[in-house]
Amino acid sequence: MSRSATLPPIRVAPETKASLEAVLREGESLTQFIENAVCREAEFRTEQNAAVTRAKRALRSADKGVGLMTADELLAGMEQRAKAAQQRIREAVAARNKRAAE
């Protein structure tokens, strides 16, 4: 088990602290709120960095002409996925109606 570490203290305006304290949930401390916010922001930035990396890779591939679709191909694929989803919904509704009738 590793030892815990502390984050640097931050100075905020009294109004900011009051607004933070006003949104705390029952039993939640300001420290817990800040820790959760910091962790969520770190997770968000990790995902954001990964998305930027994927986008850059896709742009490089597009510049090389790899994996490009025409607009017609894209629309055809979207239509195919939409039809498949509609069929799954119809089947689910039919199965639910059959169970309800039994």
54-83 per-position pLDDT tens digit: 999 988 887 776 667 788 888 999 999 999
Model pTM score: 0.56
Inter-residue contact 68 to 62 (CB < 8 Å): yes
2-36 per-position pLDDT tens digit: 788 999 999 999 999 999 999 999 999 999 999 99
